Structures are given as structure tokens and as C-alpha cells.
Amino acid sequence: MKPFIDSNEIWDLINKTSSPPGRVRDIISKSLDKQRLTMEETAVLLNARSPGLIDEIKEGAKALKEKVYGQRIVLFAPLYIGNLCTNNCVYCGFKSGNLTVRRITLTHEEMIDQVKALENVGQKRLILVFGEHPKYDARFISEAVKTVYSVKSGPGEIRRVNINAAPFDIDGFRTIKDANIGTYQIFQETYHAETYRTVHRGGTKHNYNWRLTALDRAQEAGIDDVGIGALFGLYDWRFEVLGLVRHANHFEAVYQVGPHTISFPRIQFASELQMDKSHLVSDDEFTRLVAILRLAVPYTGLILTARESVSVRNEILQFGVSQIDGGTNIEMGGYVNRKAGELQDIDCEQFQINDNRSLDEIIIELIDHGYIPSFCTACYRLGRTGEHFMEFSVPGFIKKYCQPNAIMTMAEYLEDYAPAETKAKGYALIRRKLAEMPDDKFKRLLDDKLTQIKQGKRDIYL
């Protein structure tokens, strides 16, 4: 497949696009009408400079998120399965050239122990992370997914397993699809080809085009639920935003489906980190780019990770983020082996985590700010993925399902795992949300399902 990123096109848009206030406001209005923005329109937002216009972009992003998804925030946890890697990426603690990192691949039994530990605090959604190494072939990943789904601890179960791993050929992706994965994530890291070659100094990841077209092969294999991302800090952040939008456009044009999620991790400290830091992204720039991505691709979930500090996460959560990780530990075997209060071991991590709160601490703070913590997996399990998901999400219909399903999964957490304070605050929030619902018939339906959850029934969804 031919590459679809044209650096000259992107730089022309950045350099030649102006941002008069009226045009910026018209573009925000278009997005609030749940219409996808073009690359040129996105460039207009990127080039807005006045503090007043930037504030209007942020407010537009907040309003759009509420209109499309409501106030729910989906929670998940990453689980690192193995950190063997043949790639030598300058920004990564697991790079092949780092001789201080401890190389670990979880055994079958260790994997089960990690999943039990995650289930015992209430996690329902995981993303499994693998280094790029011959050992972690498609069959290995498939078996890992099946193992995770098989683990049941008390009332706990993992209902959705997403993957972050190497690109495969079509047959490899078919093998992984047969394990009933959720989303397959592959981040391009940087869409600027020259920078890409500079920071990926060895291994199969050095091949820009093979990685760029990886999720096309996933689509051809029947994986229609995919996630894209860029690692901000490798190159100019405006270029990367337009690269992500161009990638989303490509999926829509070729497969009639956009990416299910977009991620925007920032460079963080890592073991043996040695790289050019001239493109690091400030907090203000980071906030702007998240808001612009929300407006540019209204239907796509935006993922904010625990790479960021608590203060940054709380700030950016307002501007269109729909998924965050909680209770995160990315040390190999860390969910079992690292005790509460112990310092991170950077030689066992891919990068430094800056939000070390427990899952319950994050949930209670979300509740305090009026957000609905969600472990919902309904769309995935009912086949609302790919083109079918687009039918619901692009016009904004998905909100009808998201908020009630979020409330029901939060109620499960409150019944099975929450301390008394979290439970009291959580049910107070649920009562407020029920009171706000305009449809009395739908309100009674949801109230009945909540009663069933209190009586012990689980896994109820619309």
C-alpha cells in the first residue's frame, strides 16, 4: 500500500493557513454540529494565536464532548506482558541498546496473578502491551488474550482486552482477531518520515511505511476497531496533529470507518533516555492540541494516560478526553510485586508514570467533579464496532447508550469494590443523573436495572 502522508502538504497547510476570528468560530460551530473537520480547517485552529481564540477552542471542545459522549469517562489499565524488544528507539526505556533494563516475559501463571490483582480492585478493561520481538508473535499474543479472558477472581472478570503491539502481516492479524480482541493500537510515533528514521535506529520498526500501513492490514484481516497515536515531543506538535487527522481521513476514505481511538502521549523520562529535546511540548501546547483533536474528529475516543501528572490530567480531562487509565503500574509484574508506597523502578518500566493514584482514588475524584466513571464494554460486545459504531457515533446517537451503560458499570463497582465513602458519593451522583434524564420511561428502565445490580445481577448493558 502506498504511503498517504505528504510532508509538503502538511507544512503548506501550517505555513499558508491564516486564522481570522470569524473563520475560527465558524469551524468550531461546524464541529459542534458533529461534522468532521478537514485538514485545512484543523490548520486554522492550529494557527490561532490569541488567548481569547484559544479559550474559545477549548470551550468548543468541552461542549462537543458533552454533546457526543455525555459526562462519562472510560477507565482501563495497561498490563505489560513482555519487554523483550529488537528495536532501538531513542525515547524508549525498553530499547535494545539499553543494557540496564531487566528483560522479563510473564509466564502463564504470572499473567494470571497479574490479572487477578487487577480484577480484585475492579478493573474490567485491559490493554496488553508487548515489545516487538520474535517471541511475541501473533500466536503468542492470541494465547495471552485468551488467558486474560479466562481469569475470574471473585465477582471480577475482564470484559475487553485491547492490544498495543508490533505490526503484523494480514495472516498474523487474523490470528489475533480470532482471540476476540477489542481495539488494536499501533502508534506511528511521528508522522515525519525523516524524524522517524532518526529516532528509530534499529529493528523492524525502522521501516516507516510498514508501520504506517499496519492498521490497513489489520482492517483487511477484519479488525475494524483500531487506535492510532503520535508520541508528542519527537517533532513539531502541529505537524503531528495534522498527521493524525490525515490518518483518520485515510481510514474513512478507504474503509468507511475512522479510528476508534486517538492517543497523544508525551515524551517522559525513561531509563537511558538520550534524545533531542527541542520539540518537547509544553502544558499549554498540550492542552491546545487535545482540544483541537476533539474538534477535528468528533466521533473518536481520546485517550489520556498516566504518563501525565495529576494536575495536567485534571486540566485536560475537560477538553474532550473520553478514556483514561487508572491504578496504573507499568513495571513488569508490578501489579503483584510492587507494594503500595514503593518507588518506581525505572529499569523495569518503559517510561516514567506520573499519576500513581489507585483506581479508587481516581474514581472518587471523577465523581467529585461530576464525571461518571465507566467500565462499559457494550459496543464491543454487541458488535457496535467499525462501520456500525460510526453509524451511532458520527450523528451523536452513541450518547444514548454511553451514559446509561456507564452508570450501570459504575454501580457494579460501587457494589463490589468501593469503600464506603466512594459508594455513598457514587450513588449520590447516580441519583442526580437519573433526575436529569428527560425521558421518564427510560429513567424507569434504568432504575430497574440498577435495582437488579444491587440484588446481585451483573453485566447488564444496553
pLDDT(369) > 60:
yes
Average pLDDT rounded to a whole number, residues 83-103: 94
**Has residue 315 been placed in a domain?**
yes
Q: What is the pLDDT of residue 156?
A: 96
pLDDT band at 181 (very low <50, low <70, confident <90, very high): very high
Q: What is the pLDDT of residue 275?
A: 80
Q: What is the pLDDT of residue 441?
A: 85
**Residue 215 to residue 228: CA distance in whole angstroms:** 9
**Residue 53 to residue 24: CA distance in whole angstroms:** 8
Range of the domain at 308: 69-393
- Reported as a single tens digit per residue, the pLDDT across 161-173 is 999 999 999 999 9
List the single range of 41-50, 131-140, 276-285, 345-354 with lowest mean pLDDT. Answer: 345-354
Task: Say whether both 93 and 194 belong to one domain.
Answer: yes
CATH, residue 259: 3.20.20.70
Phi, psi of 76 (to 5 degrees): -150, 175
**Residue 288 to residue 254: CA distance in whole angstroms:** 29
Task: Say whether both 285 and 358 belong to one domain.
Answer: yes
Q: Which of 393, 414, 432 is the last residue of a domain?
A: 393
Q: What is the pLDDT of residue 168?
A: 98
Kindly state the helix (H) or strand (E) to which residue 227 belongs, with its residue range: strand 226-229
Q: What is the pLDDT of residue 230?
A: 98
**Has residue 3 been placed in a domain?**
no
- Reported as a single tens digit per residue, the pLDDT across 186-233 is 999 999 999 999 999 989 999 999 999 999 999 999 999 999 999 999
pLDDT(66) > 70:
yes
Mean pLDDT of the chain: 93
3-state SS of 296-359 is: HCCCCEEEECCCCCHHHHHHHHHHCCCEEECCCCCCCCHHHHCCCCCCCCHHHCCCCCCCCCCH
Q: How far is CA 91 from the centre of its chain?
A: 20
**Has residue 338 been placed in a domain?**
yes
Task: Say whether both 367 and 429 belong to one domain.
Answer: no
Task: Say whether both 316 and 432 belong to one domain.
Answer: no
Q: What is the pLDDT of residue 340?
A: 62
Please classify residue 387 by burial: count the beta carbons closer than 10 Å to its beta carbon, then call 0-12 exposed, 13-18 middle and 19+ buried.
exposed
pLDDT(449) > 90:
yes
Task: Say whether both 448 and 352 belong to one domain.
Answer: no
Average pLDDT rounded to a whole number, residues 11-20: 97
Phi, psi of 19 (to 5 degrees): -135, 65
Task: Say whether both 202 and 132 belong to one domain.
Answer: yes
Q: What is the pLDDT of residue 179?
A: 97
pLDDT band at 249 (very low <50, low <70, confident <90, very high): very high
List the single range of 39-48, 199-208, 257-266, 387-396 with lowest mean pLDDT. Answer: 387-396
**Has residue 461 been placed in a domain?**
no
Task: Say whether both 107 and 203 belong to one domain.
Answer: yes
Classified as helix, coil or strand, 184 is strand
pLDDT band at 272 (very low <50, low <70, confident <90, very high): confident
pLDDT band at 74 (very low <50, low <70, confident <90, very high): very high
pLDDT band at 392 (very low <50, low <70, confident <90, very high): low
- Measured over the CA atoms of residue 101, residue 106, residue 332 and residue 214, the dihedral's sign is positive
Q: Which residue has the higher pLDDT, 378 or 181?
A: 181
Selection from 322, 373, 323, 416 nearest residue 119 by Cα = 416
**Has residue 117 been placed in a domain?**
yes
Q: What is the pLDDT of residue 401?
A: 76
Q: What is the pLDDT of residue 397?
A: 54
Task: Say whether both 194 and 335 belong to one domain.
Answer: yes
Q: What is the pLDDT of residue 346?
A: 80
Q: Which residue has the higher pLDDT, 273 or 306?
A: 306
Q: What is the pLDDT of residue 318?
A: 93
Q: What is the pLDDT of residue 274?
A: 78
Kindly state the percentage of the chain with pLDDT values over 70. Answer: 94
Task: Say whether both 165 and 17 belong to one domain.
Answer: no
Kindly state the helix (H) or strand (E) to which residue 105 belongs, with its residue range: none
**Residue 122 to residue 418: CA distance in whole angstroms:** 9
The cell for 216 is 490497513
> What's the N-to-C CA distance of the chain in angstroms?
39
**Has residue 2 been placed in a domain?**
no
Task: Say whether both 190 and 251 belong to one domain.
Answer: yes
- In 5-155, beta strands by DSSP E: 72-82, 125-130, 152-153
- Reported as a single tens digit per residue, the pLDDT across 280-321 is 999 999 999 999 999 999 989 999 999 999 999 999 999 999
Task: Say whether both 276 and 127 belong to one domain.
Answer: yes
Q: Which of 340, 369, 393 is the last residue of a domain?
A: 393
Q: What is the pLDDT of residue 341?
A: 62
Classified as helix, coil or strand, 425 is helix
pLDDT band at 402 (very low <50, low <70, confident <90, very high): confident
Total domains in the fold of the chain: 3
Which residues lie closer than 8 Å to 399 by C-beta, 6 or more apart? 67, 68, 69, 70
Selection from 114, 33, 46 nearest residue 79 by Cα = 114
**Has residue 370 been placed in a domain?**
yes
**Has residue 212 been placed in a domain?**
yes
Please classify residue 462 by burial: count the beta carbons closer than 10 Å to its beta carbon, then call 0-12 exposed, 13-18 middle and 19+ buried.
middle
Q: Which of 25, 41, 65 is the last residue of a domain?
A: 65
Task: Say whether both 348 and 211 belong to one domain.
Answer: yes
